[in-house]
Amino acid sequence: MDDRVHEHAEVLVDWSARIERGDHVVVRVAEGAHDLAVAVAEKLGERGATIATSYAADEVSRAYLRAHDGDFATPAQELALYEAADAVLSLGGGRNTFATADVDGATRQASATAVDPVREARLATDWVSTVHPTRSLAQQAGMSYAAYQDFVYDAVLRDWEALAGEMQELTSVLSAGSEVRLVTETTDLTMSIEGRTAVNSAASVAYDSHNLPSGEVFTAPYATEGTVHFDVPMTVSGSRIRDVTLRFEDGQVVEHSAAVGEEALTDVLDTDPGARRLGELGIGMNRGIDRVTDNILFDEKMGDTVHLAVGRAYDACVPDGEAGNDSAVHVDLITDVSDDSRLVVDGEVIQRNGRFRWEEGFDAGASA
């Protein structure tokens, strides 16, 4: 087995999930994640945790859902499993990213509603989601298998402690700040972040961060004004979307266009009133991720990018007693900020052309 599989397991168990002796751990294994499951089991054995394994196979879900009449019950046995678990490690990595493409939306939705208590029980644990590189994900990324493995391990095997420290700088700036302005050749957008809390998403439950890889700082903006252009291509609900432009007035999208997938974009924005407001401003800081692979787990953490999500805000960013933006959707859109860009907080340039204020090569002299 590739040594990096063992290193991945170690980062997951120790840095991300902080597993300790006696922890009751559920490991969810996707169809293609067997090797990572073996490496994770070894680490859990070393740590003296207990282990129970779920088989999270899309083809099994598809067969079950398509055969069902739609009157779903909550699976009491799975609920009991997660309620008794301290941590849940989800090892993604399937064999076909379209394995459930022919399950109809109503069935999917009815099942999700019945399974919601299970999902909530899982989210109440120290859960972490990661992916094992598979040929299917390499194909989704348009990459060879070997190159995709390199890509995944570059993203996952970081010096997380050092990155968490660096991200804390930005987290402090955003938590203390009132107004953010993002400027590129085709973007000039202003948002309020007054009273909102930024999250240092450092790929560890110790940071309330549940994805491996992670490497972003995010907050929940509001009162958005201006125009933003997203030049990173995305897949939203199975539709390719490219070169989105949104114009905001009074916090709401009042104009939108896309070079590709404009109809899908319109559908998203028409979901509910909250779908026209921002739910997230995220700044990608994982420079191990150096290309778009059409997988949001990686894309939104890419170094030198900024993403904005229309729709639902995360509770962690909003003070107790206050409501963040609410919506049935949360769709991330990404823009490259490596060139000809600046991110300005309360009149001070925090990042210019992808370099942060505290990094070497930061150009302090130019305009805010």
Q: What residues make contact with a second copy under the rule CB under 8 A?
A: 22, 24-27, 29, 31, 34, 37-39, 41-46, 48, 50-57, 59-61, 63-69, 71-85
Give me the least distance between CB of 130 and a second copy, in Å please.
Answer: 16
| Closer residue to a second copy, CB minimum distance, 69 or 320 | 69
Give me the least distance between CB of 136 and a second copy, in Å please.
Answer: 15
| Closer residue to a second copy, CB minimum distance, 20 or 340 | 20
What's the rounded Cα separation, in Å, for the pair 295 and 234? Answer: 8
**Pairing mode of beta strands 126-131, 87-92:** parallel
| Closer residue to a second copy, CB minimum distance, 71 or 250 | 71
Give me the least distance between CB of 80 and a second copy, in Å please.
Answer: 4
| Both tokens assigned to 350 | 């925090």
Residues 287/295/333/256 CA torsion (nearest 10 deg): 150
Give me the least distance between CB of 161 and a second copy, in Å please.
Answer: 24
What's the rounded Cα separation, in Å, for the pair 16 and 214? Answer: 10
| Closer residue to a second copy, CB minimum distance, 78 or 346 | 78
| Closer residue to a second copy, CB minimum distance, 44 or 152 | 44
| Closer residue to a second copy, CB minimum distance, 64 or 358 | 64
Give me the least distance between CB of 179 and a second copy, in Å please.
Answer: 46
Give me the least distance between CB of 184 and a second copy, in Å please.
Answer: 46
Query: What φ, ψ does residue 4 adopt, rounded to 5°?
Result: -65, -25
Give me the least distance between CB of 60 and a second copy, in Å please.
Answer: 5
Give me the least distance between CB of 42 and a second copy, in Å please.
Answer: 4
What's the rounded Cα separation, in Å, for the pair 40 and 32? Answer: 14
Triad 180, 185, 191: Cα angle to 5°: 15
| Closer residue to a second copy, CB minimum distance, 74 or 113 | 74
Give me the least distance between CB of 113 and a second copy, in Å please.
Answer: 14
CB 50 within 8 A of CB 23: yes
| Closer residue to a second copy, CB minimum distance, 70 or 319 | 70
| Closer residue to a second copy, CB minimum distance, 31 or 332 | 31
